[in-house]
Amino acid sequence: MSKSCPELLREAANLIEEALSRNPTAPAAPVATAAPAAQSPQIPAAQSRTPVQGNDHDPMVITNKLMEVFPKLQQGGGFEFLKLVGSTRSRNLALLQCPSTGYTLSYLKDPSTMIGQATIYIRPLQQDLPLDCESSRPASGPVIPCISCHKEVPFSEMKLHRLSCNGTPMQGSEREQEGGQSEEDDSETALVSDSVPVRPETSAESAVVPAVIVNEELDRKETDSEWKLLKEPTQAAKVFKENLLREHATGKPLRMKMDVRDSEEDRERELLLFYKQQQEWACPLHCTLVGDVAIGEGVMRYFMTTIISKLQFGFSLDLGGMGRTLLFEGEPDHLVPAASEALTESNLFRVAGRMLAHTFLHDGPHVTGLSPAVIHVLFNGDPEMATVVTEDCPDLHIRSIIELLEHEELTPEQKDTVSDLSMSWDLPAVTKTNRRWLHNKLLLHAVVGRTMRQIKQLRKGLKDVMVWPLLTSRPDVVPLLFPKMADMQFTPQMLLEKITWPVEDSDDEDFDLDTTCRITGFLRMFIETASSGTLAQLLTFWVGWEMLPPELRVEISGEPFPRPPHALKP
C-alpha cells in the first residue's frame, strides 16, 4: 500500500535530521528574533542565529548565547519563545511552550514543534526591556560640521543630530568643550522622550536611529489621542472627528455637485460616481446644488440627508435587476445587507461604507435599524459567536423553512424541504438528533454567511474614510454610527425642550403679544399632538435632517409661508 503525502514528508524530515546530526558542519538553526515583552509595544527586532555547538540538550547553550547577543535580555527576568501561527490574513504570535528542562536545541529541532525554517520571536518574561537611545555600535566615519549649528558630529550620527538640531550656531567656548561626552550631547539626549521607541539595527543600517519628537509634536499627539480617554462616547467621537478634519484641512478639497433639475436617477448616479472615486475623504468638503439658490451649511445637510435616505430606503436606479435597489433589507432593527450578487460584484457596499462614514464624519444622519449580528461581524466579531434571531432573516421563504425546525415533529414533506435547503448550503440533511444544531447553522448562514462579502466591503468603506480607529478603539461609539430604530423615535418633549421661543424684546417684526402667543401656541399644540413620524418630518423641514440640534429657534415672520432656516438665500 502506497504511503500518503504526510507520511512521505515526515520520513524525508527524519532523514534530513539524521544527516544533520551526523554532520558537524551542519547549518545553523532557524533565525531567532527578539520580540517585546507581553503588553509592550511591538518594535523591530535585531536578528541572530542560535548556536549549534555544545550539548543540544543543555538549555544554558541557548541562554548564554542570547545573553551574549542581547545583553539587555538579562533584565527581563527570563524569556520565552513565540512563533507565527494562522493563515496569511490572520497571523498571530503564539507561545511556544517551554519544556520542563527549558528551551534546548534538541527541542527546537524536534519536528513536533513544527518550527522548521520559521522565525522564532523572543519575549522578556517578567518585565519590558528599557528603551533608550544608545546606539548599538560606536560612532563611525569622519567628523563633519552641521550646516545649521556648525557643531562637529560623527558621520554616522549626523542624521540623528539633524532631527534635534535647532539651528543655533555654537559659540567658540562650546566647541572647545567637545570631546567624548560633551554638555551639548547631554542636552541633545534630553530632547528624546524616554517613552519614544528606538528602532534597532537591521542588516541595511549601520547604527540605531531613534525617533525624536520635539515638545510641540508630543503635545499635539497627546491632544490627538485625547478621545481615547474621554468617558462620554459622544464627546470622544466629536474630538476624534475634529482632529481628523483638522489634520486634513489643507488637503485637496472634495467637490460634490448635484443638479436639482436632473431626474432622480441622474442625481443618484452623480452620488454613486462621487463615492466610487478613491479620495482623501477627510479633506474639506464643498457641496454645490446646481439650479437652486441655497448656499451654506444647508446644502451640505441636503446632500447628507439624501445619501442616508438612499441607503435607508433604496435607490430609484435599477442596479440589481429588481426594480428599486435596496442595499439593506429586512425588518426594523434587523436589517442586513442585500444578498445580491450584482450589487456585490459592483462593489456597491464599499461605496455604502464610505457614505456611512462620511456622513458620520460631518455630523450627518445615520442609517438606523441594522441587525446586531451584522454589526458584531462588521467589527471583526467571530461569526460563530454572533447572536442571530429569526427576524434577522429577510427572506421570508427561507425563514419559513428554518422555522419548521422549531416544530417537535416534521412530516416527510417538511423534512424534504428542510433537507433541500440545507444540502444546497453544504449542510447535512435533517435528522432527529441534529434538528436544533441545523436550525442554528441555517439561520447563521442565511443572515451572515450569505452576506459576508457585503460586510467585508462595508468594513473597507469605513476604513477608507479613516474612522475605523475610533470605532475599534471605542466600541461604545458604534451605537452612535448604527443606532437602533427605537433610538430614533421622536417625542413631543424631545422637541419642546430644544425650542427657544420668541421673547418680547426679540428682533422679530412688530407683532403684538396676542398674535405672538396665538402663533406659538398653535405650534406647541401641533407638536404636542403629533406622531413620531410627523415630528421627524417637521424636524427634517426645520433643520434639514432627522437629527436634533442643540437648539431649535422659533421666529415670527410676516411671510405667507414658513421658510426653513437651512434654506438660506444669497
What are the extents of the domains in the chain? 59-124, 232-386+451-485, 489-553
- The CA distance from 514 to 541, in Å, is 26
pLDDT of residue 65: 85
For residue 201, the SS3 value is coil
- The CA distance from 454 to 250, in Å, is 33
Q: Which residues contact 193 (CB under 8 A, 6 or more apart)?
A: 213, 218
CB of 62 closer than 8 Å to CB of 104: yes
Neighbours of 549 (CB within 10 A): 13
pLDDT of residue 372: 95
CB of 430 closer than 8 Å to CB of 422: yes
Q: What is the DSSP letter of 24?
A: T
- The CA distance from 543 to 324, in Å, is 28
pLDDT of residue 427: 92
Beta strands in 282-351 (DSSP E): 285-290, 328-329, 336-337
Digit-coded pLDDT (tens) for 151-162: 888 877 777 677
Q: What is the pTM of this model?
A: 0.54
Q: Which residues contact 149 (CB under 8 A, 6 or more apart)?
A: 165, 166, 167, 168, 169, 170
- The CA distance from 532 to 209, in Å, is 62
Pairing between β-strand 499-500 and β-strand 552-553 as defined by DSSP bridges: parallel
Low-confidence ranges of the chain (pLDDT < 50): 24-53, 133-137, 170-219, 221, 566-570
pLDDT of residue 390: 94
pLDDT of residue 48: 45
The hierarchical CATH code for the domain 232-386+451-485 is 3.90.1750.10
Alpha-carbon distances of 355 from 83, 362, 458, 461, 511, rounded to whole Å? 40, 11, 10, 8, 45
CB of 310 closer than 8 Å to CB of 271: yes
CB of 369 closer than 8 Å to CB of 332: yes
- What is the residue type of 422? S
Burial code of 415-449, b = ≥16 C-beta within 10 A, e = fewer? bebbbebbeeeebeebeeeebeebbebbbbbbbbe
Q: All 3 cell numbers of residue 140?
A: 563611525
Neighbours of 359 (CB within 10 A): 23
String of DSSP letters for 463-489: HHTT-HHHHHH-GGGHHHHS--GGGG-
- The CA distance from 462 to 367, in Å, is 14
Beta bridge partners of 209: 199
pLDDT of residue 192: 33
